[in-house]
Structures are given as structure tokens and as C-alpha cells.
Amino acid sequence: MQAAKSEEAVRVLVRCRPLSDKEVAAGYKPVVIVDNKARKITVKTDKAEKGEKVYTFDGVYGSESTQEDVFNGSIRSLVDAALQGFNSTIFAYGQTGTGKTFTMQGSSKDPGIIPRSMQQIFSHIDSSINERYLVNASYMEIYQEELHDLLRKQGKEENAKKIEIKVDQNGSIYVKHLSQYQLKSVRHMEKMMERGQQNRSVGSTDMNEYSSRSHAIFTVNIECSHLGLDGKEHIRVGKLNLVDLAGSEKQAKTNSSGERFKEATQINLSLSTLGKVINALVEKSSHVPYRDSKLTRLLQDSLGGNSKTIMVANIGPASYNVEETLSTLRYANRAKNIKNTPHINEDPKDAKLREYLDELSALRAKLASRSSNGSTSAIRNGQLNLADVDDEEATEDESYISAQQALNKERNAMLADTGLNEQEKRQLAEDFARKEEALKGREVERQELRAKVESIEERMLRGHLVSVRERLSAQEEDLRRKQQELDEQERRESDVIAALDREHRDVAQKNSTVSVLKANIDVTKAKTAKLQAEQEELRKAIKEEEALARSIGHTQVEEVQQLQQREALLWTMINYFVPANSWEPLLEGAAYSARRRDWSLPTKSQSVTRPPLFLNYSDERKKYLEEKYNSLLWENILPVPVEMDDVEGNKETTEGEATFDAEEAVYNKMLAGALDAACHEEDIVVDADVYTIEREPSSGYSGSSHSQSLSRSSAATPKPSRSPTDQKPLERYPSAGGWLK
């Protein structure tokens, strides 16, 4: 009878080791947070685009967890499934140096999953009732895509036989020429493990002093004979695969070279194929690349086939390995979606225990036929239990002794009979000898059969032999224990559900906060867009203002240059028209009026109002103004005191009009040149009126030198505004009125 098939997901556990001494010395910080109750792993990263990564698994174990916590919390139920006839697989996956081998094997003081599984198996067998078990084990490794038998003794001729992967008639994977050993106890298993570990390929890298350089697979086949509900004997076969995978490596971190580099390359290739198989199974691809690697070929039943599977993902907490940690968690997270279809393997044709039981039945039938009473009905029906067998063997021993005693008694009676002649006695003695020889022959044959039976029985393990009432009582006790386990599991599930509810509430609250933040972000984005638009407008305005300022600057520079040219021309004309000793006293006493924005010169006579120019007036207006100011034309001359040397060299100051030749030879030539140049420049208007001259006082100015000519500053001494009629003097202004000769 075979249980109905149903899908079951691969269970994934994550175990995080503590920081190593090297990592602590190097100053690396832990970036992994383990939440056992919520079964969550949180990884903090420095990169803003990644932030925190949160993963949820079937079980998580932090650095404070023990080997017992891992086994009792998640592994024990899978070993029970193997004892019930399921195929079960446990494999450790992760980066090199994260504790995979420690999790699977442990140490003598702190055993791992493999020795604890063996302890559970043999404890179950010891406590079983009316059941027989046959436990076989094999141990092999995959080193650089080659299979090695770790239990085969070195130097034997068997080493010449190459082990290889085959497929049986039922489509199941097996390894040809792989040695198997029957296990009798946990101690026997430990010795086998020690031998296998000595033959396993290990090496040292910068990340792990004892790094596994191969994938190791320890397989335990458990065959059980039990009475079914139909009262017949049935056999179920469970298989437990315990896989310690080699760790993924980065050459830059392990600094592997030579042979170690080749090993790392093969390890990474096989693990990459394992990742492809996981992805194909999750995506339900039509082709799953099991055949691309020997590792995936051997794990074919465990991934997507007839098996209950647990993946133990081992990670490190250090910030130095955060990328490898995230990669392991991504693989583990995808593996949760793989679906298997496990079922109990019951009454298989190739069960070794079935062969042993059939052979035992045949041997016991022969033994029964040799017995004196010939009671063989129960044996032939195949319903003889172990207690009946022991009783039958005791009866056979008693029958042999009774037959021998009867034969001896008959011989003694024959010898005591005096009525027999010698020939009859010899004949009877020969008959007695033949009977005795036949009896001894049957006894020898029976002993040989019993030796064979004992040899076969020694290969099988069995529990207690009890009566039906005791068996029912034990079953009730087992049911109570199972119920307690179910209650405990329900309690844990309730805790998990409560934790999930809290998490959902937290998520809802966070979602609400996120919604508010998103709304605020939208408002902020709108404000930011508006401010950016205003900023862009301001930038454009600034650019326009800068362009205008540059244009104004250029214009001002040109105006300053023109004013400087005009000032230079005016001073040149003053130097030619007026001697220095005449205008220097005027400039020393000149005063500027900010209110009127003009200069006033000192004078000893009363100043008169100068008539305006009549350039832009109409003819009638011109005529009127000319008549009005005609009487003042010759009076609007500023009298300047002139110092003159007399014959004796004494200076004499005269008031009124005075004329003289001021260095005629020099001034006339220079004046002629200046006037000639001025007359040829249409844009330059010569205005030598002293009222329009703006000049800073200077002491030591020389009329014959232009190196000390004064410049005018429009900021310090602004030029007084002039009316349009003051652009150039009237032609009727006198060319000489005491100033020019």
C-alpha cells in the first residue's frame, strides 16, 4: 500500500555564525539581524539604492543558536520522515567559511546534524516494537567533477573500479560500485565518518584554514519490516541524504592559486549549475539541467522529485562579505518555491531486507522439517513472530535430545535381551549406528541452518518483542507523544501567526506613514518644481542684467574715453590760451556747489550773468535776445589779475584788460596745430570758456608739459548740466578781449 502523493515545498533554514576573530581584529561590523520569532533575516547595506533587505524563511538561527536548537527545531521531523519510509535530504549551502561543515558534522563535544540524526535513528530502532530494521550507509565526495568513495579502504583492488552514476528500472538515481556498510550502532557510524573524513579533500585558504574542497554526501538507507493493518508483513524503505556542499569562493578574497584555484573553479561551476536548477524548478521550465553537473544529478530526487528536502543556508555577519551574504539569501529565497512530491517507499522489489526475510523463511522451513514434531504450518504461512521462532528452536533442541535418549534406551534394551543371537544383535547394532549417524547428521545440518539464520538476523536490527496488549499500550503512548508534539507545533505556529499579525500591523502602519510621506513628497515636488521654475526665471533675469551691465560697462568705458579725450583737448587749449600763472590762482580758489552742480571762480569784480547762446532759438527769439543782451556783450568778460615783471624784475599786478605775447614762438606754433586739428574734427567742439572747465586743483602744473595734465572724475566732480544752446560759442564772441593777441 502506498500513500497518496502530495506536493510539498522545500523548507529553507538560515543560520548566521558569529563574527570570527579575524573579522573582529580587522574592524568589520555585523550587518545581519536575525529575528527568530518572526523568522526574518535583515541585511543592512551601505549603498543607498539597496538599503535594508528583509527575507523570511521557514526557520532562522542566529549566532547564539546551538546545534541542538537547529536539530530539534527543524531537522528531527525530517529524520522521522526517513524512518517512516520517505526519501529525505538535508544539504548545507553557502559561502566558504560560513560554518557548513560545522553545522553538518559538528565536533565531538558539540555534534552536528549527521551524528544527531544517527542517534535519533538508533534510538527509534531500540524503542520500536515488533519491527526489524536494516541500516546501510555510504559516503562519497564529488571532487573536480569526479566521484570518490570515501569508505573504500586504500590499496584494495576495488579502487580500480570507477564509481559512476546510473539509473535503475524505476528511474531512480544510484551510484554503481559505491561501497555500503551496515551500521549496528552510533559508535559504528562515528568510526565510518572518521574514516571518510580522513579521505576527504580539504585545503587551506585565506578565508578558511580547513576549507572543504569537495561536495560530500553521506547517505543512509533505512529498511523496516513491520506488520500492516492487513496482518501481513510489509517493508518500507527510507533514504536520508546528508550533504555538505563546498563553499562558493571569490579568488580575490581567498587568494587561491594553482591546484586550489582549479578546485575553486570546479566548485563554483557546480554551484552555478545548482542555482540554474533551482531557477528552472521555480520558473517551472520544461527543461531542468540536472545533467550539467554530477552534484545536481545526484540531488535530482531531492530537488523537484520524491523527497522531503531541507536547505540550510549558512551566512556570515561581517560587512566585508555582504555581497556574498545577499547572494546566498537570494538563492535560498528562490529555493522556497520548489515543489517536491514525496511518498512512502513501501514494498519495493529491490529491498535488501525482503531478501533477508525470504531467506530466513526458507531456512526456518528447513529447520522445521528437521524438527521431530514437524509443526511447520505457522512458518509456511509466513506469520511466525520472533518469540515463536525462539520457542521452536528450543523445541528442536529438546526433540534432538529426546530422540538420542530414546535411541540409547532402545540400544540398551536390545543388549539386555538374551533371546537374540549374535547375528541379530549385530544387525540391530548396525541399525542403531545408522540411526545415530542419521540423527547426528540432521543435528549438524540443523546447526548449520541455525548459524545461517543467526548470521542473517545479526544484520538486522530489532526492537522489543512484546505481546499484542503491550504493543497496543506502546502505540497509545506513542500517540500521546505525537499529540504532545502536535500541540507544541500548534503553539509554535500560534506564536508565528501572532508575530505575523504584529508584522502585518506594523506593515499597515508603515504603509500609512509611507502614504503620508508620498503625499508630502508630491507637495514638496510641486513646490520644488515651482521654485525651480522661479529659479530658472531668476537665472534668465540675472543673465539679462549681466548682459545689460556688460553693455552699460562698455558704453561707460567709451563715454569715459570720450570725456578723457575732451578733457585733454580742453586742457590743451587752456594751456595754449592761458598762461599757467594766470589760471592756477583761479583753480586754487575754485569751489564746487553740489546743489547747483557747478563751479564758482574767485573774482574781485562783480560777476555778471552771461547771456545764453542763441543757437537753437527761432529767428525772432534770437533777434530779441541779441537786442536784450547786446549792451552786455563786451561787459561779460571776467577780469583776471595778471602778474607782470617790470624792467627791474619786480612783479606788478594790474587789473583790467592786459595783453601780451606769451612765448609767441612756442605757443603760436602749438596753438596753430591744435586749432587746425580741432577744425578738422567735426565731432569735437572747442569751448574755452572758463565756466565750462572742470579741473582738479594742481600745484606744479607746467603749461609746456602735458605729462601732468589733470583728468576729470565724473563721480567726484560731476559736470554741470548745460542747455542745448551751450553746445558751442557764438561766432560773435570776441576772439580777443584781453586774453588772446
Residue positions forming the annotated binding site for ATP: 94-101
Q: Is the dihedral of CA 489, 495, 500, 501 positive or negative?
A: positive
Residue type, position 383, single letter = Q
Contacts of 13 (CB under 8 A, 6+ apart): 57, 58, 59, 60, 61, 70, 74, 310, 311, 312, 313
Radius of gyration, alpha carbons of the chain: 61
d(CA 183, CA 76): 20
139 close to 152: Cβ distance less than 8 angstroms: no
Strand pairing class (233-244; 87-94): parallel
Q: Within a 10 A sphere around the Cβ of 195, how many other Cβ atoms?
A: 17
Is residue 343 within 8 Å of residue 5, measured between CB atoms? Answer: yes
Q: Across the strands, what pairs with 165?
A: 175
| Beta carbons within 8 Å of 189's beta carbon, 6+ residues apart | 115, 118, 137, 183
C-alpha cell at 96: 566558504
Beta-bridged to residue 12, according to DSSP, are: 311
Cβ neighbours of 226 (radius 10 Å): 16
Enclosing H/E stretch for 715: none
Could you give the C-alpha distances from 160 to 140, 163, 216, 359, in angstroms and in order?
Answer: 16, 9, 21, 32
Classify strands 132-143 and 215-227 as parallel, antiparallel or unpaired: antiparallel
CA distance 173 to 249: 29
CA-to-CA separations, 38 to 42, 500, 503, in angstroms, rounded: 11, 7, 8
Cα–Cα distance, 573 to 637 (Å, whole number) = 18
- Which residue carries 537665472 as its cell? 539
Would you call 280 helix, strand, or coil by DSSP?
helix
Nearest alpha carbon to residue 541 among 525, 533, 530: 533
Which residue in 707, 729, 677, 684 sits closest to 575, CA to CA? Answer: 707
Whether 258 contacts 273, CB under 8 Å: no
What CA–CA distance (Å, rounded) separates 565 from 702?
19
Q: Is residue 110 a contact partner of residue 67, using CB atoms and an 8 Å limit?
A: yes
Residue 297 buriedness (CB in 10 A; 0-12 / 13-18 / 19+):
middle
- Centre a 10 Å sphere on the Cβ of residue 355 and count the other Cβ atoms it contains: 12
Binding region: 94-101
Task: Give the whole-angstrom CA distance, residue 353 versus residue 222.
Answer: 10
Q: Roughly how many angstroms between the first and final C-alpha of the chain, as a whole number?
A: 149
Region at 94 (left for phi over 0; alpha for psi -120 to 50; beta for the rest): left
Q: What CA–CA distance (Å, rounded) separates 144 from 141?
A: 10
Buried/exposed code over 232-255 (b: 16+ C-beta within 10 A; e: otherwise): ebbbbbbbbbbbbbbbbbbeebbe
187/721 Cα distance (integer angstroms): 121
Cell of 618: 527761432
The Cα 576–Cα 565 span in angstroms is: 17
